[in-house]
Amino acid sequence: MLRDQGQNPEVKTAPEEKEFRKNLLKALLLAALLITVLTIVRFSPLGEYLKVSNIEALQQKLYEFGGLAPLIFLIGGAFVITLGVPRAVVSILGGLVFGLFWGILLALLAALLGSTLIFLLTKWLGRPLFKQKVGEYLKAIENHTKTDGFLMVLIMRQLPLTSLLINVLIGLTSISMGIFLLGSVVGLLPEIIIFVLFGSSLQESFVLRVSIASTLWIILILVIRLFFRRSRLAQSLARKIKAVKSSGS
């Protein structure tokens, strides 16, 4: 259950509500910026390059590689995500080039591949290499890893940390790869669907897909907020991570 049993949600303080409004505003501004950019691209001379015929020509070029085309995107996407490129960029490109269904599948697999490589590498190299860099963050989460590994991974995916840092931190815990993958799929899929929708809107049904993606983006933010309000574990982790970030700034 998302809500911790036997415990009531904590009363929200004014600073927390203020921070939520600030984060919501940032998310809305990001959506507005993305819609503006996509609209300019779609209806400006640049849109000529994004006609269905031209996209099909690009796809045909990729298909000349045969079965390697999705593999090239998958490996390339995993690589750039590992380097710190936002998953949203890979998802938008996946939607633009491969369409909605294959874009979602390939973007998700790219994110999982990049994340799993870092997770396994961290497991293999162990704490001595990473502890000096992420020790304070690790102290903030390691006492919670034995309560519910799946929930822990799900919460970590929603925290304002880089994907690289999240994967390293989880890799330093006792969480198994199976739980890591399951929590990552559930935590990453909604965001990937939304940004693939944005990308695929340049292929067809621009207004409809942008509208659906924007609505889902707002709903996702509100659902995450509700989840954090009802889960004491999520609240505790968020506060500890924020404290570590503040002390390091």
> What ranges do the domains of the chain cover?
14-248
**Beta carbons within 10 angstroms of residue 24's beta carbon:** 14
pLDDT at 66 over 80: no
Q: How many helices (H) and strands (E) does the chain have?
A: 10, 0
Q: pLDDT at position 111, please?
A: 95
pLDDT digits (tens, 9 = 90+) for 149-180: 899 899 999 887 888 889 988 988 888 999 99
pLDDT at 7 over 50: no
Cα separation values, 207 from 31, 39, 63, 83, 203, Å: 14, 9, 28, 33, 11
Q: pLDDT at position 20, please?
A: 61
Work out the burial of residue 80: count CB atoms within 10 Å of its CB; fewer than 13 is exposed, 13-18 middle, 19 or more buried.
middle
Cα separation, 52 vs 7, in Å, equals 54
pLDDT: which is higher, 181 or 68: 181
Between 47-51, 170-174, 194-198, 234-238, the lowest mean confidence (pLDDT) is in 47-51
pLDDT digits (tens, 9 = 90+) for 194-228: 999 999 988 888 889 999 999 999 899 889 988 98
Mean residue pLDDT of the chain comes to 80
pLDDT at 80 over 80: yes
